[in-house]
Amino acid sequence: MIKARHFTASLAGLTALLSACTMMPQADSALAGEAAFAEADGAFHSQAGDMGDFLIARYASLTNDPEAAAENYARIARIHPGDRSITERAVFSALLANDFPLALSISSQAGKSVLDETSLLRLTLAADAIASENFLAVSDLTARSQSGPFHTMVLGSLEAWAEFGLGNLAQAELKLMDAAGEDAYLRGIMLNSLALMEVAGGQDEEALETLEVLSANGTLIASTADTYARLLAERGKRDAARDVLQTYLEQTGHNPRITDVLERLEAGEELGMKRLTAREGAALAIYVPAAALAAQSADDLPGVYYSIALHLDPDLQAARALFADALDRSGRSEEAIAMLEAIPASSPYHVSATGQLAWALYRAGRKDEALDLARRTLEGEPQRDLKIQMADLLSSLNQDEESLVVFDEIIRSDEASGIDDWRLYYARGTLHEALGRWPQAEEDLLKAKTLNPDSPEVLNHLGYSWVDRGLHLERGMDLIRQALSLRPNSGAITDSLGWGYYKLGDFERAVHYLELAAEIQPDLAEIIDHLGDAYWMTGRRLEARFQWERAITLLEDEQDIHRIERKMLTGPETQAASRTP
């Protein structure tokens, strides 16, 4: 591809050179030829340079390096401000790298036609206009005729908060609800924004009516649940405020902000009211739908919007925490670590960020630091959820005895409070099993199954453990089949079923299910190892050795590697009587 592009550029330069020569007077032909050649040569090198930058940027994007991608896309975009594709990629990469100033610089230099057609650039410029309190400039940037539902809602929200910044509250509220269109889900999000805007504008009674509707529908977000509780507490309705917060936690799970407000309320503190500025409201208008997007996405795409939200409100620590989570999940652990370390100790999100930080250190390969942080955190008697995270991390760091002690403490505390959490019994059961304490492991796994009889994880683990030990074979197989019916696309559970048939001596059926498992999860060493065993027992020795060689490439533990290397010579140890060299 590169050679073809260079060849095209050379032809273009040669054509320009010949054309220029024929048009010049004869006396100046030599000088004209030199000038034309220089111009064509410059164009050739410019095009070649652009292509090089593009290839570097594209490669950086594919290899999860948004900083390098942004830098190289930006270089091309500044030369070609009318190229929509390059400009949009440049802004996207800059925001993904959390470099808002670069994204703003590129957006500011884009041609009008590019701006008209590209929502992300206008969103960047509109957000900066609100951050600079240049509210009058926003309406020119929020045209939504060519935007999808997501950008239509966000741009409309920014326009509404700009109107709020200008003091036009009634107009702002109309624009806010208009931005959601007819989509019921989006209108629910916007109704939350409306309640926050009503409070920000001092319309507390109207806000209470809006919040009551949201609460009745179970569609409060964290910001509005917090605001609703504060309004109720301010009116002396502290029990009602407590109910709002507790219901939110029951419906959505742990939330640092809501937990913090609830603890302060129960301690008898005055909560006070929090009324948003236009900047803070606009930041939430971007953050909330981005967080909803993150719940449906496994990549770091929402980080683009978190970056804009944080430019508007640098104290929006919820966005920082979710941005870090997206970075960590997408393999950018070092960036996640830096972001988590920026969350101050005064923030309600600091505690949960500590758990995120410990895991990010682990995934970044900084295991000694992760272990040190886990131990220091546990010494400080952390909250239950953080304690569970640290116990899980200790297990992942092969500190099973320490992890078991922590789980014992949590379970004892839970039992004293009348709490039965199947996840904790399941986790403790797997630890007992890893430490060779099968009777205790079996007891915990059965307890977990009693508490959650439809958990595929528990059914599969208990069934596999029985089958692998030659215990309760038919009952174990039934549990594995039940788990597979609940999660039919699971490679691990499919592997369990195949291994069960292997242990029962039905090697042909074992091959069938183990091949399926390997197709679903081709990079899991245990599945590949099992498939090799099954191939061996059906006489497919070359294929067995090939699978074991594949398994070795996926392993790090030296003992597991040596075990498989021995099998390549002697066959599976569990079928010693059937071995052939």
Lowest mean pLDDT among 111-115, 143-147, 368-372: 143-147
Q: Report the pLDDT value the prediction gives residue 374, as an integer from 0 to 100.
A: 95
Largest CA distance in the chain: 103
Contacts 24+ apart (CB under 8 A), 573-580: 574/503, 574/533, 575/536, 575/537, 578/537, 580/541
Which carries the bigger pLDDT value, residue 18 or residue 158?
A: 158
> What residue has token string 């319309």?
203
State residue 457 phi and psi, 5-degree precision: -60, -50
Going by pLDDT thresholds of 50, 70 and 90, the confidence category of residue 452 is very high
If residue 228 lies in a helix (H) or strand (E), which one and from where to where? helix 222-234
Q: Dump the DSSP string for 154-199.
A: HHHHHHHHHHHHTT-HHHHHHHHHHHTTT-HHHHHHHHHHHHHHHH
The mean pLDDT value of the chain amounts to 85
Q: Is a pLDDT exceeding 50 seen at residue 20?
A: no
pLDDT in tens, 323-365: 998 888 888 889 999 999 999 989 988 888 999 999 999 999 9
- In the prediction, which pLDDT does 31 show? 36
CA distance 499 to 517: 10
pLDDT tens, 53-112?
556 555 545 556 777 777 777 777 777 777 888 888 889 889 988 999 999 999 998 888
Paired tokens of 242: 């407590």
Whether 532 contacts 547, CB under 8 Å: yes
Residue 579 has pLDDT above 50, yes or no: no
Q: At what angle are helices 119-131 and 278-294 packed, to 10 degrees?
A: 140
What kind and span of H or E run contains 478? Answer: helix 473-486
Task: Please count the other Cβ atoms lying within 10 Å of the Cβ belonging to residue 544.
Answer: 22
- Please state, for a pLDDT cut of 90, what percent of the chain lies above it: 62
In the 8-state DSSP scheme, what is residue 1?
-
Token pair 């075990």 is at which residue?
563
Q: How far is CA 161 from CA 27, 232, 253, 320, in A?
A: 68, 25, 30, 22
Task: Identify the weakest region by mean pLDDT among 22-36, 81-95, 452-466, 554-568.
Answer: 22-36
Average pLDDT over residues 529-553: 95
The span from the CA of 415 to the CA of 235, in Å, is: 37
Of residues 253, 308, 247, the one with CA closest to residue 282? 308
How confident is residue 45, by pLDDT bands cut at 50, 70 and 90?
very low
Q: What angle do CA 304, 309, 315 make, to 5 degrees?
A: 130
Looking from the CA of 226 toward its CB, the CA atoms found within 13 Å total 20
* Tokens 């039934």, residue located: 478
Exposure of 297 in the CB half-sphere (CA atoms within 13 A): 18
pTM to 2 decimals?
A: 0.73
User: Residue 136's pLDDT is what?
Assistant: 95
Q: 15 pLDDT exceeds 70? A: no
Give the residue ranges of DSSP H helices in 235-383: 238-252, 256-266, 278-294, 303-312, 317-329, 333-341, 350-363, 367-379
Exposed, middle or buried, 346 (CB in 10 Å: 0-12/13-18/19+)?
exposed
167: amino acid identity, one letter: G
CATH architecture of 463-470+479-581: Alpha Horseshoe (1.25)
Task: Say how far apart CA 389 and CA 423 lie, in whole Å.
Answer: 12
Q: Please, are residues 229 and 199 in contact by the beta-carbon 8 Å criterion?
A: no
How many angstroms separate the Cα of 371 from the Cα of each of 16, 95, 368, 409? Answer: 66, 32, 5, 19
Residue indicated by tokens 């079928």: 575
pLDDT value at residue 78? 79
Rounded mean pLDDT, 412-439? 94
- Which pLDDT score is estimated for 307? 95
- What would the mean pLDDT of 312-318 be, rounded to a whole number? 95
- Asked if residue 428 has pLDDT above 50, the reply is yes
**Is residue 437 pLDDT above 60, yes or no?**
yes
Q: Which amino acid is at 239?
A: D
DSSP class per residue in 37-91: HHHHHHHHHHHHHHHHHHHHHHHHHHTT-HHHHHHHHHHHHHH-TT-HHHHHHHH
pLDDT, tens digit (0-9, with 9 covering 90-100), for 468-517: 998 999 999 999 999 999 999 999 999 999 999 999 999 999 999 999 99
CB contact at 8 A, 262 and 249: yes
At 75 the pLDDT is 75
The most confident of 40-54, 131-145, 205-219, by mean pLDDT: 205-219
What residue spans of 417-437 are helical by DSSP H? Answer: 422-434
Q: What share of the chain is helix, strand, coil (3-state, %, to 5)?
A: 80, 0, 20
Share of the chain above pLDDT 70, in %: 86
A 10 A CB-CB count for 340 gives 27
Q: What pLDDT shows up at residue 30?
A: 39
